[in-house]
Amino acid sequence: MAAPRRRARTGRGGLGDHFVDRRHRLGLTQSELADLAGVSRSSVQSLESGRATVQLDLVVAIADALGCDLTLTTRGDRAG
């Protein structure tokens, strides 16, 4: 297994950053994660880079391959 290359992260704290951190902790490359998730490496790259138009089914497949659950939470009552 090849060691994942590490780049400086932007620190935005978004979903992509969480997935990168988890992938690094597991010692996976983007290609290895893509194989585990059954998606293309470019899909993993798009999600990790924070591209705004990533399909939900890809996010779910990658999260599953990383051993992560996705949870929806409410933001609270916005009525004034």
Sequence spans of domains, the chain: 15-65
């391959």: which residue's tokens? 65
> What per-residue confidence (pLDDT) applies to 77?
64
Q: How far is CA 78 from CA 42, 71, 72, 73, in A?
A: 37, 20, 17, 14
Q: For each of the chain's 80 residues, which pLDDT tens digit applies?
A: 666 665 544 455 688 999 999 999 999 999 999 999 999 999 999 999 988 788 899 999 999 999 999 988 888 866 65
> What per-residue confidence (pLDDT) applies to 6?
56
Q: How far apart are CA 56 and CA 29, in angstroms?
A: 21
> What per-residue confidence (pLDDT) applies to 50?
86
> What per-residue confidence (pLDDT) applies to 76?
80
Assign domain 15-65 one CATH number from 1.20.1050.10, 3.40.605.10, 1.10.260.40, 1.10.150.20: 1.10.260.40
> Has this prediction a pTM greater than 0.85?
no
> What per-residue confidence (pLDDT) applies to 9?
47
Secondary structure E strands in 1-80:
none
Q: How far apart are CA 9 and CA 24, in angstroms?
A: 12
Q: What value does the CA radius of gyration of the chain take, rounded to a whole number of Å?
A: 14
**Nearest alpha carbon to residue 54 among 29, 37, 73:** 37
Structure tokens at 6: 């590490």
